[in-house]
């Protein structure tokens, strides 16, 4: 009889990484499913990035490298953090990881003792609580609401802090809501972090995908006291359409960074060497490709939000960033899984239930998909909502 460690037995599989079996079966049967589940840009990686990786391969850059990442990449990241974010890290304060995900995982491993508390505002990216649990920490979920724009308020943060609190995970722009904290809101959160002397992990993976003048401010850039308490996490996946390359990074206080280097040296070693050369090219070449993809997302977002605005009974926080819209379905009388199951079965539209993000009265649609899928999918969603409205009189 095989017995698994309890640390993994209590962790559910990731609801967003794969299509649900029913949607897969529908696609296999040749059905036309409108898929709004992607957590990744649908664009190909820009050519110059691919060329740099190909060249690295041809030049034999296929050996082990330093576990913390190639020095020229760490230097390019330190420069980027200085120029774009106003964060003064030396290359030695940077670790290159297998995506932003491994940065976050590593941080929980090196920072948490059993029972340490980590404050996570909900709706949250679904892996945060599981990573905390895998490190034997305790996720302290703080719900956020429509009236505060789905943002954690400084008062909520203050109230949640106990002697066991180690850190806050802050994610702006947010997955799943797309909300972006304003610079003032970031400063107000930073103030509480400093007063209470806790750490903040700032997940800035969507920082370049912004709309309607939304401004991204790195919490570590708000003051030297905040900087000392911040670990900045970012990556190449979303900005450069490089999800499969698995290159991300963290930067923070030297003591934490050194601990992550040690952990990485005994777990994964370096990120794929030639992928790191692609990442260097991503940072060193023109950033036009980033703006082109952002503009494409902006057009899709426009189409999607306009169509949603015409559906009675649904509401959502205005997404200032990322490529998601998080729709409040509470008036349907259905929970998020029922809503998504029925939507898939009756209209062949695949969305992600909000329960995965700690909000069971919401669903997440991703607009990292083409305009035709958005057009067709929204017609179907409208029909679905009309049927639900007719059957339970709740939405109208
Ligand atoms: N953080 C957030 C909020 C995300 O949505 C994701 C991916 O979906 C990640 C981190 C991890 O990204 P990656 O590991 O691909 O760099």
pLDDT digits over 250-261, tens only?
999 999 999 999
18 pLDDT above the threshold of 80: no
pLDDT score recorded for residue 394: 54
With a Cβ cut-off of 6 Å, ligand 1 is lined by 39, 99-101, 125, 171, 175, 203, 205, 235, 237, 243, 248
pLDDT band per the 50, 70, 90 thresholds, residue 48: very high
Cα 38 to ligand 1 centroid, rounded to whole Å:
12
In this predicted model, what pLDDT tens digit does every residue of 195-242 receive, in sequence order?
999 999 999 999 999 999 999 999 999 999 999 999 999 999 999 999
- pLDDT at residue 9 is higher than 70: yes
User: What are the backbone dihedrals phi and psi of residue 79, each rounded to the nearest 5 degrees, phi first?
Assistant: -65, -45
Mutate to test the pocket of ligand 1, among 77, 205, 352 (most ligand atoms within 8 A of CB): 205
298 CA to middle of ligand 1, Å? 20
Q: Separation of 322 CA from ligand 1 center, angstroms?
A: 11
Distance CA 364, CA 356 (A): 10
pLDDT in tens, 136-163: 999 999 999 998 999 999 999 999 999 9
- Give the pLDDT of residue 10: 84
Q: How confident is the model at residue 393 (pLDDT cuts 50, 70, 90)?
A: low
pLDDT of residue 14: 75
Note the maximum CA span of the chain.
66
Mean pLDDT of the region 321-349:
94
Candidate from 2-16, 211-225, 313-327 with smallest mean pLDDT? 2-16
User: Looking at residue 396, what is its pLDDT?
Assistant: 45
- Ligand 1 atom closest to the CA of 104, numbered from 1: 10
Question: Would you state the pLDDT for residue 379?
Answer: 95
pLDDT at 7: 87
How far does the centroid of ligand 1 lie from the alpha carbon of residue 333, in Å? 31
Grade residue 187 by pLDDT with cuts at 50, 70 and 90: very high
Contact 124, 169 (CB under 8 A): yes
Kindly indicate the confidence band of residue 364, based on its pLDDT and cuts at 50, 70 and 90: very high
Give the Cβ contact number of residue 228 at 10 Å.
13
H helix intervals, 6-150: 6-9, 21-28, 47-58, 71-85, 99-111, 127-134
> Residue of the nearest CA to atom 7 in ligand 1?
39
CA distance 74 to 89: 10
Mean local confidence (pLDDT), 66-80? 98
pLDDT in tens, 82-117: 999 999 999 999 999 999 999 999 999 999 999 999
CA distance 282 to 52: 9
Q: Global pTM?
A: 0.96
| CA distances in angstroms from 262 to 32, 68, 110, 266, listed in the order given | 48, 9, 10, 7
Return d(Cα 274, Cα 46) in angstroms, integer. 15
Mean of pLDDT over the chain: 95
Average pLDDT score over residue span 368-394 = 87
Nearest CA to ligand 1 atom 5: 175
How far does residue 103's CA lie from ligand 1's centre (Å)?
A: 10
Name the 3-class secondary structure at 63: coil
What's the confidence (pLDDT) of residue 20? Answer: 82
Q: Pairing relation of β-strands 362-366 and 352-353?
A: antiparallel
Residue 39 scores a pLDDT above 60: yes
pLDDT at 44 over 50: yes
Cα(238) to ligand 1 centroid in Å equals 8
């Amino acid at each position: 009889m095989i017995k698994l460690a309890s640390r993994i037995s209590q962790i559910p599989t990731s609801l967003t990484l794969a299509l649900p079996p029913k949607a897969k079966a529908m696609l296999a049967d040749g059905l036309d499913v409108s898929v709004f589940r992607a957590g990744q840009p649908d664009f190909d990686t820009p050519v110059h990035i691919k060329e740099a990786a190909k060249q690295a391969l041809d030049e034999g850059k296929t050996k082990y490298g330093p576990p913390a990442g190639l020095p020229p990449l760490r230097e390019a990241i330190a420069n980027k953090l200085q120029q774009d974010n106003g964060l003064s890290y030396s290359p030695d304060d940077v670790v290159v990881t297998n995506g932003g995900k491994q940065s976050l995982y590593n941080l929980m491993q090196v920072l948490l003792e059993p029972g340490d508390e980590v404050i996570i505002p909900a709706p949250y990216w679904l892996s945060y609580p599981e990573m905390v649990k895998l490190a034997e920490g305790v996720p302290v979920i703080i719900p956020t609401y429509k009236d505060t724009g789905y943002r954690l308020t400084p008062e909520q943060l203050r109230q949640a802090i106990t002697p066991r609190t180690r850190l806050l995970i802050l994610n702006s722009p947010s997955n799943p809501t797309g909300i972006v904290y304003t610079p003032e809101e970031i400063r107000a959160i930073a103030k509480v972090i400093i007063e209470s002397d806790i750490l903040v992990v700032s997940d800035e993976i969507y920082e370049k995908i912004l709309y309607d003048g939304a401004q991204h401010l790195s919490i570590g850039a708000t003051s030297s006291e905040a900087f000392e308490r911040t670990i900045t996490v970012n990556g190449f996946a979303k900005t450069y359409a490089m999800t499969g390359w698995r290159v991300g990074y963290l930067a923070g206080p030297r003591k934490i960074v050194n601990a992550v280097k040690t952990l990485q040296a005994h777990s994964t070693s370096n990120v794929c060497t030639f992928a790191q050369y692609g990442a260097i090219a991503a940072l060193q070449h023109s950033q036009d490709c980033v703006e082109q993809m952002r503009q494409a997302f902006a057009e899709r977002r426009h189409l999607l939000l306009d169509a949603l605005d015409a559906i009675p009974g649904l509401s959502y926080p205005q997404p200032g960033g990322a490529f998601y819209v998080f729709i409040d379905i509470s008036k349907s009388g259905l929970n998020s899984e029922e809503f998504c199951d029925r939507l898939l079965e009756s209209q062949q539209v695949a969305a992600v239930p909000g329960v995965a993000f700690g909000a069971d009265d919401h669903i997440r649609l991703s607009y990292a998909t083409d305009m035709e899928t958005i057009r067709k999918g929204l017609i179907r969603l409208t029909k679905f909502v009309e049927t639900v409205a007719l059957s339970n009189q709740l939405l109208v």
